[in-house]
Amino acid sequence: MTSPIHDTSLEGLARGWRVTDASTLKANQNLECDVVIVGSGAGGGMAAESLARRGLSVVLIEEGGLLGASRFKMVEALAYPELYQESAGRQTADKAITILQGRTVGGSTTVNWTSSFRTPATTLAWWRDAHGLAGLTDAEMAPWFAQVEARLAIDTWAMPPNPNNSVLEKGCAALGLSSARMRRNVKGCWNLGYCGMGCPTNAKQSMLVTTIPAALDAGAHLLTRARAERLLLQGRRVAGVILAALGADGIRPSGQTLTVRAREVVLAAGAIGTPAILLRSGAADASAQTGKRTFLHPVVLSGAVMNEEIRPWQGAPQTVYSDEFLHRWPLAERVGYKLEVPPIHPVLLGTTLTGFGSAHRGQMRQMPNLNVMLALTRDGFHPESTGGQVKLRGDGSPLLDYPLTAPLWDAFRHAWLTMAELQFAAGAQSVLTVHEDAAPARTLAEAHAQLQALPDEVLRARVVSAHVMGGAAMGKDEQSGVVDAHGRHWQYDNLTVVDGSVFPTSIGANPQVSVYAFAARSTDALGKRLA
């Protein structure tokens, strides 16, 4: 029997998409086009559709592979090595923060959890006031948000939240704190809960099933398993990009090289990948900011054992949030945080939980009754919260150095206590702050006492993040930023950046809609210029 679910990638290939898997190449290749786009995630996908639909010849480069619904099996052991940077084990230089980023056609949008928020007005205001980006008003951005929301079917999730998310909603109601239901980029979602392993039903409106098919149908050429190594710099112009074809393992170079020459080069390799390409190329930068002020939303977690079954692996992953502590303090005074509830699957849980041996096993056994809450801290606004720096290892691969500063520890401590209060208010039997020195607390008073004693030490607190921003930030002039407010590089006339790296601070909300909207705006301007 044939599957009722279409594999949009296999169908596109059958109707003649131009896709080259660089791992199959036996000789070096030279290509020419109007626009070469490096990276096929949120920014690259948006750029590819916009530019290909204008009739420009587009080559889209991706270091991961092209997969589709029939390859997404809802199995962590298959998904992480195939779909994530460093098999979902990417870490900061001191290993204090684990970073989730996609590495496949569609980039992080293929594996993300679908939460959809516009850039908060307070963040845009900060960029205008503190970073001189006067044009980025709410009125200027609103049509771009509306456009991408319509393109990606972004709407409030109408189904009831799963029991995992209900804990946050109940806790907020009991404590008199605000909470709200999320908007998601889905169409006909089956409410499975496996978004992080690639959507097996095509419901998630990721780049893999929306803009990239549209670009390929319009004649774009997709090169997969091809890693952009460096830009070909000639004075104020970029002549093209040099790529390493990857071998059969999709990781190590095969030895073949591709050279793509183009009128315009667009970088969308994500906020670690794009600064790394600029650094490997020795690109000029009067601001000396390339790779600097790279921001995560450092996330801390709190687990709760509930009386009722939660089955946190089932149902839409993030559907309830609370911004009660996001806007509570002036941005420059204290780091605020957004509260959400992540999906829980065994590998993700096993690698995030603290402890070893029988204690660890005991916690894993409680998984059916487990609620996990997260606090997503808003880095980049406090004067001491200056984020991290992308550096290059000896082999040229990127490494993010990300010190955890005092304002972040202050936010973590506040967030852990808030999450414990919320979980107990929602009826938790016990609460575990995800920190090596914490033990399950049976009462709020016990949790509070433990929190007073927890050391602010890296590698003891478990910190994670799936949101990477900055490192090639917009600035009002070439001294204050790497690119201008339309992503155009200040030093190169035909180089544009359209991914999360253009943001001068973290977003303060899940960033995909911000990346889509800024990419749509920048590539619209670029398309008009190239027409």
Residue with tokens 């996330």: 299
Segment 184 to 243, residues that bind ligand FAD, using CB under 6 A: 196, 227-228
Contact (Cβ atoms closer than 8 angstroms) between residue 39 and residue 110: no
Q: Which two tokens stand for residue 113?
A: 């959890």
Residue 43 binding ligand FAD, by CB under 6 A: yes
Q: How far apart are CA 45 and CA 321, in angstroms?
A: 27
- Which CB atom, from 111 or from 441, has the smaller least distance to ligand FAD? 111
- Which CB atom, from 246 or from 426, has the smaller least distance to ligand FAD? 246
- Which CB atom, from 54 or from 103, has the smaller least distance to ligand FAD? 103
Binds ligand FAD (CB under 6 A): choice among 19, 37, 59, 111: 111
In DSSP notation, 149-182 reads HHHTTEEE--SPPPHHHHHHHHHHHHHT---EEP
Binds ligand FAD (CB under 6 A): choice among 9, 50, 115, 433: 115
Segment 403 to 462, residues that bind ligand FAD, using CB under 6 A: none
Listed ranges 102-110, 378-386, 404-412, 419-427: which one lies at the site for ligand FAD (CB under 6 A): 102-110
- Shortest Cβ distance from residue 91 to ligand FAD (Å)? 14
512 in a labelled binding site: yes
- Shortest Cβ distance from residue 455 to ligand FAD (Å)? 29
Contact (Cβ atoms closer than 8 angstroms) between residue 196 and residue 79: yes
* Burial class of 403 by CB neighbour count within 10 A (0 to 12, 13 to 18, 19+): middle
317 in a labelled binding site: no
Give the contact letters, 315-344, x = binds to ligand FAD (CB under 6 A), - = no.
Answer: ---x--------------------------
- Shortest Cβ distance from residue 320 to ligand FAD (Å)? 13
What is the crossing angle of helices 42-53 and 512-530, to 10°?
Answer: 30
Q: How far apart are CA 257 and CA 67, in angstroms?
A: 23
What residues contact 329, with CB distance under 8 A and at least 6 apart?
Answer: 336
Q: Residues in contact with ligand FAD, total (CB under 6 A)?
A: 42
Q: How far apart are CA 474 and CA 127, in angstroms?
A: 9
Measured on CA atoms in the order 279, 252, 296, 274, is the torsion positive or negative?
positive
Q: Which amino acid is at 97?
A: I
Contact positions toward ligand FAD, by CB under 6 A?
Answer: 38-44, 61-64, 100-104, 107-109, 111-115, 196, 227-228, 268-271, 273, 277, 318, 466-467, 499-500, 510-512, 515
